[in-house]
Structure 1
Amino acid sequence: MRNLLMKVSYDGTDYNGFQTQPGGHTIQDYLEEAIRRLSGEQLKITASGRTDAGVHARAQVFNFYTASPIPVERWCMALNTWLPEDIVVSDAMEVPMEFHSRHAAKRKTYRFTINANQYPDLFNRRYQIHHHGKLDIAAMRQGLSHLIGTHDFTTFASRKSTKPSHVRTIFDAWIEKDTSTCRPGTRDQGIIHTFISGNGFLQHMVRIIMGTLIEVGEGKRQPDDMKVILEAQNRAAAGPTAMGKGLMLWEVDYDIASQEKHND
């Protein structure tokens, strides 16, 4: 028996999220079916976390136990032959038996993308939201800075959250602006990428943060309001939940090397 870790990227547009649910048609369902077709094993995978319907992933991580003798270097290509074209497994490695994708994660980073140009981008419309009006990006950066640190993020959690604690740590949060798509002499602002990196996230947390941050950019709220909103610990104090299509699970970090050394 081996414990295999894999990385998968996916376009979440047409799926009901990552985690298996009664309605089916999830990323997990397709991965487990591909593993069944390849190895003959009916098993459950464990992921670093779930993503909601319409949300994408650049590097989601999952692991599973297998008795299959298939060499680890052959898994990716073999699985991809059984997967839809919008789900791609890109890496595989053997990890210690006690490794758990969710529990062992040290840091997760999400990216949220806003197209702040005058017109939508036809070819990237599935991965960004389009904002018609001008945004004060400096104000958004200032507002975002209030979220760094360890806080109770109840304000930015879905009312349906069942987590016993809403305390999370945001290690870093920053905004990058790509002006390469701006047309000279227009009001185009470019593509705005917001990155938020932390030890864990609550349901809809990044999307609610972004919905509130956009209101700061629009001038409807002041940057320092983010601190007051956070301290309120009340979902009603925050802005709307931003559309899922702008969100991507960007990276999940582990300290796998130290675990392997510990087991030597």
Structure 2
Amino acid sequence: MPRLKLTLEYEGTRYVGWQVQPNGPSLQGVLEGALAKLLGAPVSVRSAGRTDAGVHATGQVVSFDTERVLPMKAYVMGLNSLLPEDVAVVDAVEAPEGFDPRRWSRGKRYRYRVSNRRSRSPLRRVTHWEVFAPLDVEAMRRAAAHLVGRHDYSSFRAADCQAKHAVREVWKVAVEGAPGADIAFVVEGTAFLKHMVRNLVGTLVEVGKGRKPESWVADVLAARDRKRAGPTAPAHGLVMEEVFYGEGPPPRTPGALADADEDEG
């Protein structure tokens, strides 16, 4: 039975998140519905990560098994004709045997977008966090260096995060852009805790506003206490940009795999 791997792009504004939930439309639900129409049978998909309500993606990865053999273009052109306009398949390939989009992941890249203009932007209202106070980008860059490495990120996890531990490895926290314009926080790592990226961004913005010194970020990390960190940045600024894979499942060490029932970003 073939296993297919799809890469998705979506705007998460009107969805309750990736996972099927009883309180509204989910991205998993609309994708499985479209696949059922295309293939003529119910389909269950696995994802690389569960994005929260309002979070977007340009590189979400899913897989599923099907007995029906179709050309790959059917999973792009055909499936896109059945999906709503805010969800699209951007790539489709046959996956290697045993492929699992979450467990084969070697890491992910998230991008968090901030509009630092002095006035509101109607075009950015669902894709950027609008911060009108001028941000010190250089200070945020220096503060971000404290967040790179292998650490216990308890200070940056949601209060209801279900992960068994908070040890993660972050490869990169880059701050791109300039004050008064568009600013992006690019975060790469092996796996992420619930709201972790949004909490990292909210903490760095406190430094950018001049409310906290750069060294405070290191103190927050060391405290392992969510109450010490900055506010959670709004969901709509976050994009799941890319999932990294190798030739097979990577070797696992503690902290290198997000718990299967865990939300990310």
TM-score, normalized by the shorter chain, greater than 0.5 = yes
Indicate conservation of the 8 Å contact 2:104/2:248, yes or no. Answer: no
Shift of 1:72: 2.2
2:133 counterpart of 1:142:
no
Deviations 1:207-252 (A, max 9, x none): 1111111111111111111111011111101111110011111111
Identify which range, 38-47 or 195-204, moves more after superposition: 38-47
Which residue does the alignment assign to 2:225?
234
Offset, 1:116: 0.7
Map of 1:185 onto structure 2:
none
Q: How does 1:165-180 map to 2 (within 5 A)?
A: 165-177=165-177
Query: Which residue is equivalent to 1:206?
Result: 197
Counterpart amino acid of residue 194 in structure 2: Q
Counterpart-to-counterpart distance in 2, 1:173 and 1:148: 7
CA apart distance, 1:67: 0.7
1:142 touches 1:224 (CA, 8 Å); kept in 2? no
CA shift digits 1:75-119 (9 cap, x unpaired)? 111111111000011100011221100011112010011111111
Superposition TM-score, scaled by structure 2 size? 0.91
Deviations 1:128-170 (A, max 9, x none): 0111111111111111110100011111000101111111100
For the 8 Å contact 1:17–1:52, the answer to whether it is kept is yes
Shift of 1:15: 0.6
Aligned partners of 2:7, 2:130: CA distance in 1, in Å? 29
The amino acid of 1:36's aligned partner reads A
Q: How does 1:125-136 map to 2 (within 5 A)?
A: 125-136=125-136
Contact 1:129–1:246 (CA<8 Å) still a contact in 2? yes
Question: After alignment, is 10-19 or 66-75 more displaced?
Answer: 66-75
CA contact (8 A) 2:117 2:132 kept: yes
In 2: Cα distance, 1:64 partner to 1:97 partner: 12
Q: Which residue number corresponds to residue 36 of structure 1? A: 36
The alignment yields a C-alpha RMSD, in angstroms, of: 1.3
2:105–2:244 contact (8 Å) kept in structure 1: yes
The aligned counterpart of 2:258 is none
TM-score, normalised on structure 1?
Answer: 0.92
Partners of 1:215 and 1:69 in 2: CA distance? 52
Which amino acid letter does the alignment assign opposite residue 219 of structure 1?
Answer: G
**Aligned-partner residue type, residue 137 of structure 2:** I
1:223 matched to 2:214? The reply is: yes
- Correspondence list, 1:1-264, <5 A: 1-177=1-177, 189-255=180-246, 258-259=247-248
Q: Say which SS state the counterpart of residue 239 (structure 2) adopts.
A: strand
- How many residues are paired up? 249
User: C-alpha separation between the residues in 2 aligned to 1:259 and 1:155?
Assistant: 32
Whichever residue aligns with residue 12 of structure 2, its letter is G
State the shift of 1:126 in Å.
1.0
Cα contact 2:153–2:221 (8 A) shared by 1: yes
Moved over 4 A (4+): none
Q: Distance in 1 between matches of 2:27 and 2:140?
A: 33
Structure 1 CA distance, aligned partners of 2:137 and 2:222? 23
Q: Which amino acid aligns with 2:103?
A: H
Quick one: distance in 1 between partners of 2:122 and 2:83? 26
Counting aligned pairs with the same residue, the percent is 37
Partner Cα separation in structure 2 for residue 259 and residue 95 of structure 1: 11
Would you say the 8 A contact 2:115–2:124 is kept in 1?
Answer: no
Displacement of 1:259 after TM fit? 3.7
Which sections of structure 2, spanning at least 5 residues, go unmatched?
250-265
